[in-house]
Amino acid sequence: MSKRFIPYLQSLDFEPAKNPAKADARSIHPFGTSVRRRDTASDVIEIQFDKHSKPSFIINFRRDPPELIKEGQFVGARNARLPKLTKFGAERFRWAESFRLTPRPKSASWFTMRTFFGFRSPKICSKEVIDRLMNLFPQVEAWFKDGNIGEHVQALPMLLPLPEARHEQIVSPGHLPHK
């Protein structure tokens, strides 16, 4: 991954996000978040590894509006401080388009090494997985370019605060109150 795919992302003008990963997130995002800044938005790529330390990963990607980039620091949708949701607070949010690149069409599966119980070399298997990723990555670029959703791209909607709602009551990311 670090020898082939990360340099490939860098050749496409993606750069590591300015803020470091939190200690508890390093295990699933060891490569952090990569951002490509545009005039009107930022293209965001996250390489998410399995939280149970299995040799598998998925590519999450989205386009963030400029209000999530603050003073050169990447705020990011998952790090945004969300106001408390109430029955009258829903208008303070909007759905953001977020997607995943999967190795098989119309599937929720992750990229993983198949060593067939050790009969295949992990080195060969890891090369095959990265080859597959790099062959499918143009579908991500096609979505960033013109919105085309390829057959290996799966929707993953996210709730984002509107800019004026970001300075209200703080709720931990991912923990929205229920009714």
Pick the closest to residue 47 from 82, 17, 68, 70 (CA basis): 17
Q: What is the pLDDT of residues 110-163, one digit of tens each?
A: 998 876 666 778 788 889 999 999 999 999 999 999 989 999 999 887 766 666
Q: What pLDDT, on the 0 to 100 scale, is given for residue 121?
A: 81
Q: Does residue 164 sit in helix, strand or coil?
A: helix
Measure the CA–CA gap between 75 and 26, rounded to whole angstroms: 17
Cα(59)–Cα(71) distance, integer angstroms: 26
More confident residue, 10 or 73: 10
Q: What does the alpha-carbon distance between residue 158 and residue 168 come to, in Å, rounded to a whole number?
A: 19
pLDDT at 122: 77
Would you place residue 50 in the very low, low, confident or very high pLDDT band (cuts 50, 70, 90)?
Answer: confident
State residue 66's pLDDT score.
62
pLDDT tens-digit map of 72-103: 444 544 444 444 444 445 566 666 678 999 99
| Residue 1 vs residue 132, higher pLDDT | 132
Rounded to an integer, what distance in angstroms lies between the CA atom of residue 19 and that of residue 111?
26
| Tokens (6 digits) for 137 | 């990555």
* Residue 64 contacts residue 22 (beta carbons within 8 Å): no
* Percent share of the chain, pLDDT over 90: 27
Say what the pLDDT of residue 77 is: 47
The domains of the chain are located at 5-79+98-156
Please report which confidence band the pLDDT of residue 32 belongs to, taking 50, 70 and 90 as the band edges. confident
User: Could you give the CA distance from residue 161 to residue 76 in angstroms, rounded to a whole number?
Assistant: 11
What is the arithmetic mean of pLDDT over 23-44? 72
Mean pLDDT across the chain, nearest whole number?
Answer: 74
- pTM listed for this prediction: 0.71
Element (H, E) at 161: strand 158-161
